[in-house]
């Protein structure tokens, strides 16, 4: 059974220098209460893994503005000018990963795979320092899995066991990230009793979830 804790308690589980996956897509489905708690707790030197860095005043974007990250691994940074400014000034390391590749690297991490082959990025800067494989005459990059110390995930509903339901486009990266961290902390809009969720609507089973926070 997942343990119900406060957002501030959740933040204490993240150490300075930790790697943290944060769900959401331009902050849609982003765990805003958890991000705010991390900010309030003064956590720093984080490696953030997310689809993007949102906006300067929203979710993960606040962590960038307050310089709490030393590195981000994301698919784009265009909606947060501060990320680009810090990158160009040498204040923040930015690893840009094609969006589909990022999702698959997280999935590989969550499912215990050693990596995967993709043609995406062949012949571009994405291929720098990566192993190249030729299969049946086609060239691929070997992409390695991504995992994290902690995943901060947003769900629409959770039962007290930790089974999760996501709502529409807010689903995005959240289910993948829930599988790929040593500790998964879920901010849920609604927390219900065990047995109240229709098994057919459960996307992430409770085995991946350690802590719940009321959103």
From start to end of the chain, where are the E strands?
Answer: 3-5, 19-22, 46-49, 69-74, 93-96, 116-118, 132-135, 138-143, 148-159, 164-165, 181-192, 211-214
Q: Tell whether the model's pLDDT for residue 6 goes beyond 90.
A: yes
Q: Tell whether the model's pLDDT for residue 1 goes beyond 90.
A: no
With tokens 């094609």, the residue in question is 98
Say how far apart CA 25 and CA 86 lie, in whole Å: 21
Report the pLDDT averaged over residues 73-84.
96
**Structure confidence at residue 111 (pLDDT):** 96
At residue 178, the 3 state secondary structure works out as helix
Domain segments of the chain as ranges: 3-113+146-214
From 1, 24, 3, select the one nearest 151 (Cα to Cα).
24
68 secondary structure, DSSP code: -
Say how far apart CA 175 and CA 160 lie, in whole Å: 17
List CB contacts of 69: < 8 A, sequence separation 6 or more. 45, 46, 47, 48, 63, 92
- pLDDT tens per residue, range 103-119: 999 999 999 999 999 99
Cα within 13 Å of Cα(135), Cβ side: 10
Q: What are the helix (H) ranges across the chain?
A: 7-12, 32-40, 60-65, 81-88, 99-110, 174-179
**Structure confidence at residue 103 (pLDDT):** 98
- pLDDT tens per residue, range 169-204: 999 999 999 999 999 999 999 999 999 999 999 999
- pLDDT tens per residue, range 10-66: 999 999 999 999 999 999 999 999 999 999 999 999 999 999 999 999 999 999 999
Report the pLDDT averaged over residues 71-78.
96
Say how far apart CA 81 and CA 214 lie, in whole Å: 31
Pairing of strands 93-96, 46-49: unpaired
25 secondary structure, DSSP code: B
Task: Give the domain 3-113+146-214 fold.
Answer: Glutaconate Coenzyme A-transferase (3.40.1080)
Report the pLDDT averaged over residues 74-100.
96
- pLDDT tens per residue, range 117-146: 999 999 999 999 999 999 999 999 999 999
At residue 183, the 3 state secondary structure works out as strand
**Structure confidence at residue 185 (pLDDT):** 98
Q: Tell whether the model's pLDDT for residue 79 goes beyond 90.
A: yes
Say how far apart CA 193 and CA 98 lie, in whole Å: 39
């Amino acid at each position: 059974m997942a343990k119900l804790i406060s957002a501030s308690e959740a933040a204490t589980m993240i150490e300075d220098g930790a790697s943290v996956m944060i769900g959401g897509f331009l902050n849609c489905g982003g765990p805003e209460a958890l991000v705010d708690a991390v900010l309030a707790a003064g956590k720093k030197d984080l490696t953030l893994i997310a689809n993007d860095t949102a906006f300067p005043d929203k979710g993960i974007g606040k962590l960038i503005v307050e310089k709490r990250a030393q590195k981000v691994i994301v698919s784009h940074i265009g909606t947060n000018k501060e990320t680009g400014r810090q990158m160009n000034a040498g204040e923040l390391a930015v690893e840009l990963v094609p969006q589909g590749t990022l999702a698959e690297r997280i999935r590989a991490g969550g499912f215990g795979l050693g990596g995967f082959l993709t043609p995406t990025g062949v012949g571009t800067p994405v291929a720098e320092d990566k192993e190249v494989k030729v299969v049946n005459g086609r060239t691929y990059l070997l992409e390695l899995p991504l995992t994290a110390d902690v995943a901060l995930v947003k769900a629409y509903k959770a039962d007290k066991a930790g089974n999760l339901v996501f709502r529409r486009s807010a689903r995005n990266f959240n289910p993948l990230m829930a599988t790929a961290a040593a500790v998964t902390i879920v901010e849920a809009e609604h927390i219900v009793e065990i047995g109240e969720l229709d098994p057919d609507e459960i996307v992430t089973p409770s085995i991946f979830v350690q802590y719940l926070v009321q959103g």
